[in-house]
Amino acid sequence: MSEIKPIESAPTEDSAEETDWAAAKAFFDSLKTEKPRPPKPRYAVTIAVSSRTLFNMVEERKIYEEEGLEKYVAHQVEHESEPLKPGAAFPFVKALMTVNTRLRALYPDSEELFDIVLMTNNHAQVGVRLINSINHYDLTIERFCMTGGKSPIGYLKAYMTNLYLSKDSEKVTEAIEEGIAAATMFMPDTETQLSDTQLRVAFDGDAVLFSDESEIIVKKHGLDTFFQHEKQFENKPLAQGPLKCFLEALGKLQRKFYAKNERMNCPIRTFLVTARSAASSGARVLKTLRSWGLEIDEALFLAGAPKGPLLQKIRPHIFFDDQMFHIEGAKELGTISAHVPYGIGQKYNRGKLIEQPEKKE
Amino acid sequence: MARKLLMLMHEMNERLQQESAKELLQFDVVLITTDSQQQQQSSSIISSTKHHGLEISRFCFANEEDFVESLQTNNVQLFLTSDKSEASQATQKGVLSALLDHQEASPPSDQLRIMFCEDAIIQPDTGPTPANREAIQGFAAQLGEIRRRFSLADSPLCFILVTAHGSKDSCASSLLTLRSSGISVDEAYCLAGAPRDPIMPLLQPHFTIRISFSDLEE
């Protein structure tokens, strides 16, 4: 699983990295605008977003699918001064920027910030419209990769990405297989008013923060066996899941606020929203988090009740879950959801095993 | 390395010919050497290139002082070399140059990848001074024209823009400058100070033309 980045500087890293860094710093310092410069990737929490999650490109996508690549690119170039509408990841990105502002105020010289990178396999000519749109909304995104059709996976690793958001589930699956936290984003059916002072992130437990080992037991042996198993192994930590490192990265930034006495006013809040019940299987989860040295601000045990209504109250900027059933439920009630295609949950739909044809290579 | 490049250009010429029998735009390759030892073996060089199936239209044997003049008399638009000082000399006299590096990751053999790279700092010992807009003008127009003969996807020719230190706006501005010079970039990467070593092997360019379009002094 993707490792958390070091806090201390690695002395063996070559001077080429330092030269590039110093040159960029000098460039940004010389700019007349108040624009904050991007943080050093080694220390930053890097979030890579695709163009279709950052902006709503549904109509443009139709042109691509119905009329082909050349017409699509020509259309984008023709309309390149028209900003695109916000997409599913837009509120999340704005919330990240809010946290950065607070961090810069408290720690003006620190590079431990969110770094937002645009990672798209769009053609570079489409990129002009994307950059214009980024400027229109005043988003602090300075780094991008426009791969002109190639897979972005190699670049995700090269940018030390902590989280990758895309509309393409194949790319997301590939990223997770490479050990990078990733999720497929879905636009909610209705719009919800979200906080503009606090980043709120909700996680499912099994197969998102934790491995799918317990879910396998539920699917194969049923709930009763599951409850027995969890009680028996209450003190044995679960293995980690694909989003564990991202929660860890959030926790690291939260502690920076606590260190400055800002716990009551912390601009990051995390939620665990799990179908587990507190009494029979909740303890193991909390003990696992404690054994990892991680905190979660609110843990909500639903004991199988639907997640949608509760998420409506929480209003997260993003909600991660491995089961499409929960994603759909959340989406219907206005929550921005992100599917984590990991673990045994992918083979099931609403509790029934999906008959899958052999995957063609 | 150079051999693969020549083979790629040859293939591209063939494809261009296929697209249109009246095709006038072609890659024309001139081999130039200033090494006196090599010059004494001139016949063996010529037969060697034939032996390897490399299409070279002209051979030029010059000495170190006046090889740039030879470039100019031969109307060379792009001079490729692995020798930094030769590249610098050529650039100083107005011939666009690019360095052939020795890379660990070998570039693909089915697509010619040309990288335009913009750095904010100019290190004196890393080769020719970066080209500004005027310097690439003629070359860019023709090269862009060749690219347009092929489709957007699956093209045997690909242009990459990398800005190492500048902001996204300076990268966007270089994109537009290249576009108005005739080159429609396919892939663009704005590093904004991120370390380039992990990224460069993924880009796999055959050679890099260093550019400098923006005024860095305010």
State the Cα–Cα distance between residues B97 and B208, nearest whole angstrom.
9
pLDDT bucket at B218, cuts 50 / 70 / 90: very low
Residues of B in contact with A132 (CB under 8 A): 172
HEC string of B131-193?
ECHHHHHHHHHHHHHHHHCCCCCCCCEEEEEEECCCCHHHHHHHHHHHHHCCCCCCEEEECCC
State the Cα–Cα distance between residues A316 and A91, nearest whole angstrom.
10
Structure tokens at A205: 């437990």
Interval B96-113 mean pLDDT = 74
Res B186 pLDDT > 60: yes
For A260-264, B49-53, B157-161, which range has the lowest pLDDT when averaged over its residues?
Answer: B49-53
pLDDT score, position B67: 76
More confident: A77 or B150: A77
B69: number of Cβ within 10 Å = 12
pLDDT of B50-88, one tens digit each?
766 666 677 777 777 777 887 787 777 888 877 778 888
Res A10 pLDDT > 50: no
pLDDT score, position B125: 58
A238: which residues sit within 8 A by CB, 6+ positions away?
Answer: A206, A210, A211, A213, A214, A284, A285, A288
What is the residue-averaged pLDDT of chain A? 90
Q: Vertex B102, ends B101 and B106: CA angle to 5°?
A: 105
Interface probe, candidates A67, A131, A133, A137, chain B, greatest B C-beta count within 10 A: A131
Burial of A156 by CB count in 10 Å (0-12 exposed, 13-18 middle, 19+ buried)?
buried
pLDDT score, position A328: 95
State the Cα–Cα distance between residues B154 and A159, nearest whole angstrom.
26
pLDDT bucket at A64, cuts 50 / 70 / 90: very high
pLDDT of B31-56, one tens digit each?
666 665 556 666 776 777 676 666 66
CB A336 within 8 Å of CB A88: yes
Residue in chain A nearest B218 by alpha carbon: A30
Res A101 pLDDT > 80: yes
User: Reduced to 3 DSSP states, what percent helix, strand and coil does chain A have, rounded to the nearest 5?
Assistant: 45, 15, 40
pLDDT bucket at B147, cuts 50 / 70 / 90: confident
pLDDT above 90 covers a percentage of chain A that reads: 73
Give strand pairing partners of A348: A353
Q: How far is CA A277 from CA A128, A301, A302, B131, in A?
A: 50, 5, 6, 66
More confident: A62 or B132: A62
pTM for this structure?
Answer: 0.88
pLDDT score, position A11: 45
3-class DSSP assignment, residue A42: coil
Written as one string, the DSSP assignment of A126-184 is HHHHHHHHHHHTT----EEEE-TTS-SHHHHHHTTEEEEEES-HHHHHHHHHTT--EEE
pLDDT score, position A358: 47
Residue in chain B nearest A13 by alpha carbon: B195
Q: Where do we find the tokens 């053609």?
A: A123
Residues of A in contact with B192 (CB under 8 A): 24, 37-38, 142-143
More confident: A177 or B5: A177
CB-nearest partner of A24 from B152, B165, B218 = B165
Query: Are the beta carbons of B189 and A31 separated by less than 8 Å?
Result: no
For A131-145, A207-221, B79-93, B119-133, which range has the lowest pLDDT when averaged over its residues?
Answer: B119-133
Res A9 pLDDT > 50: no
Question: How are beta strands A182-186 and A337-339 bridged, if at all?
Answer: antiparallel
Q: ipTM, 2 decimals?
A: 0.88
Catalytic residue list contains A168: no
pLDDT bucket at A318, cuts 50 / 70 / 90: very high
Give strand pairing partners of A45: A114
State the Cα–Cα distance between residues A270 and A45, nearest whole angstrom.
16
State the Cα–Cα distance between residues B8 and B167, nearest whole angstrom.
34
Residue in chain B nearest A40 by alpha carbon: B194
